[in-house]
Structure 1
Amino acid sequence: MDIGLLKVFMAVAEEGSISKAAQSLNYVQSNVTARIQQLEQELKTPLFYRHSRGITLTSAGQTLMTYTEKILNLLEEAEKAVVDSPVPKGSITVGSDTTAAIRLPPILSAYRGKFPEVEVHLEIGLTDQLINSVLQYSVNGAFVDGPVEHPDIIQELIINERLGLIVPETMDFCGLRTVQDKTLLILNLDCMYRMQLEEWLRDEGYRLANVMQFGTMEGLLGCVKAGIGYAVLPVSYYNKLNVKDGIRCYPFPERYGEVPTVFIRRRDLYMTSAFQQFIEELKEQLPEARMCGVETSDA
């Protein structure tokens, strides 16, 4: 089994189509088909189901895909290890959820000022998406809601965020009873912010009413301003907003108000000088972070 066959296999699996994979690889379709057939013959098992909508991985194909990702990543790391320079250069990709992303501009600016030969890519997403991106080596590291418990992941640093209720300024706010029958506006239905709010509500004898999910922070805050509902966000995020007109922030009680944001990476990730220096920049620019290189416990 050679590397070329695995690269073709991965392209077909990702595209879900022989023809699309051929286009992405700049191969003729018959060449891709022959290579997949060769791989299936070598392994003595079908790797794809063929159907009218394209192709999907069999259980054997899913297993091979897991190993293929690791093999190709190790190959890429081997190449980086050979050419990596003590002077950071090349590129890194960093992930962040929407709220943590507000911390990044000064960090990225300082980093690029020190290491102009490094190209930094930023991927914004939800926590579950970003954890998956880290596990698949799509990003070098990511800021996500924590803690993250996975045997393949290391938490590099932890920032304890204080949560706050974000309400329209027209609301006569008098504690939880003011919002207990209102709609919670949220980006991620399963986020830690919601869990902390539900615990606070439960202890006060209330329950969460309606929930409305949004795709963007702009849409969420716009609806808070319009009086459609309220939100739960880190106080640090609210404080850094350029425009706070139309909304107010009321911090949670200390008992319910702290949630960790963690910066994570794969345990087996090859640490290029560019990424090592980025982590050092994080530690310098985020003095409030607990910089202890915490490793998560096995899941």
Structure 2
Amino acid sequence: MESNDLKIFYKVAQLGSISRAAEQLGYVQSNVTLRIKALEEELALPLFIRTNRGVQLLPSGKLLFEYADKILALLAEASSAISNYEPELKIGATPSITTGYLASLMPALPLNLSVYTRPLDELISLLLHGNLDAILLNRPVEQQELKPIFSCDETIGWLTANNLVSIQDISKHPILMSRDKNCPYRKATIDFLNRNVITNYKLIEYDIIEPILTGIETSSSIAVLPIRLKTEKMAYAIDISSDLKPVKIFLYVKNDKPKVPETIQKFIQYVFAENHDRKGI
């Protein structure tokens, strides 16, 4: 039983007339008559009784009409749902990027978005195996199968409990950083300490970002981080942060995508609405 035959039957039953149904549906009358006849042959039951005024439903026709009403309503609902379907966008990100860029924006993003926060190596593996659509990283990667389609500069600085920390004071505060030797914020911290010949400092390393943020908020600890991570309980020590170079943020996809999907383009527009440098879009 074809859905179009049901639509024809339903319209004939509603109007009680084959000719009027044909006119409204844009068919010739003979075609409507043939489709009704085919439907009756398929069901091995007559559906209408012909009268001088048109057609009337028989008991079998009344039963089919009830089901046709439900079926056609479901088909219309399915068509509407599919036409409005927004495919799920799976984005991977490092912990600092998730916290700084995505966590606060996700509830308001007009996208069907899932975010996967993982270490860098795991993010790359998930993208290569097709489990993610794109990954946001705070460092470049050397992978022939991947390509960056977007990049932007991220301002970093010393985050403290107050903004009165001077270069001379840094060694008096515990310095928090990632244990990951390739972390760009760790590298910026070490470079700053070496350039300013700061010694006798205390380093505390963590595997995740949360205890670093908590340490800054609740103690005298300090850290070089994206200023986007600054909370109401923190201060941005701008006087000692001016010579810290921005960190580059990259969005990578697999090389097998000849064109950037529209959902990823929307993601970039919403998340990085500020100054950015587009590549390959």
Query: Which of the five TM-score ranges fits, normalised by the shorter chain?
Result: 0.5 to 0.7
Query: What SS is found at the alignment partner of 1:129?
Result: helix
* 1:128, distance to aligned residue in structure 2 (A): 3.2
Query: What SS is found at the alignment partner of 1:156?
Result: strand
**Unpaired runs of at least 5, structure 2:** 1-81
- Distance (whole Å) between structure 1 residues aligned to residue 120 and residue 200 of structure 2: 22
The share of aligned pairs that are identical, in percent, is 13
TM-score, normalised to structure 2's length? 0.59
* 1:193, distance to aligned residue in structure 2 (A): 0.8
Alignment equivalent of 1:226, drawn from 200, 207, 218: 218
Code of the aligned partner of 1:155: P
CA distance 1:179–1:131, change in 2 (3 Å): farther
Counterpart of 1:260? Answer: 248
Confirm or deny that 1:183 pairs with 2:174: yes
- Distance (whole Å) between structure 2 residues aligned to residue 234 and residue 208 of structure 1: 25
Do 1:96 and 1:143's aligned partners in 2 also have CA atoms closer than 8 Å?
Answer: yes
Query: What SS is found at the alignment partner of 1:278?
Result: helix
Larger Rg: 2
Alignment equivalent of 2:121, drawn from 118, 125, 128: 128
Q: Please list the CA deviations of residues 207-240 of structure 1 after superposition, one character each: whole Å capped at 9, or x if unmatched.
A: 58443233443322222223252222111232xx
Query: What SS is found at the alignment partner of 1:256?
Result: coil
* 1:89, distance to aligned residue in structure 2 (A): 3.5
Query: What SS is found at the alignment partner of 2:95?
Result: coil
Confirm or deny that 1:289 pairs with 2:276: yes
Counterpart of 1:167? Answer: 160
Alignment equivalent of 1:90, drawn from 87, 90, 102: 87
- Distance (whole Å) between structure 1 residues aligned to residue 146 and residue 83 of structure 2: 25
Counterpart of 1:279? Answer: 265
Counterpart of 2:96? Answer: 99
Code of the aligned partner of 2:101: R
Do 1:185 and 1:211's aligned partners in 2 also have CA atoms closer than 8 Å?
Answer: yes
Code of the aligned partner of 2:235: R
Say what the alpha-carbon RMSD is for the aligned residues: 3.0
- Distance (whole Å) between structure 2 residues aligned to residue 291 and residue 86 of structure 1: 30
Code of the aligned partner of 2:248: P
**Unpaired runs of at least 5, structure 1:** 1-84, 113-118, 295-299
- Distance (whole Å) between structure 2 residues aligned to residue 108 and residue 161 of structure 1: 23
Counterpart of 1:197? Answer: 189
Map of 1:234-249 to 2, 5 A cutoff?
234-238=226-230, 241=231, 244-245=232-233, 247-249=234-236
Counterpart of 1:11? Answer: none
Code of the aligned partner of 1:221: L
TM-score, normalised to structure 1's length? 0.56
CA distance 1:181–1:214, change in 2 (3 Å): same
Confirm or deny that 1:139 pairs with 2:139: no
Map of 1:9-28 to 2, 5 A cutoff?
none
Code of the aligned partner of 1:236: R
Counterpart of 2:6? Answer: none
Residues matched between the structures, number: 195
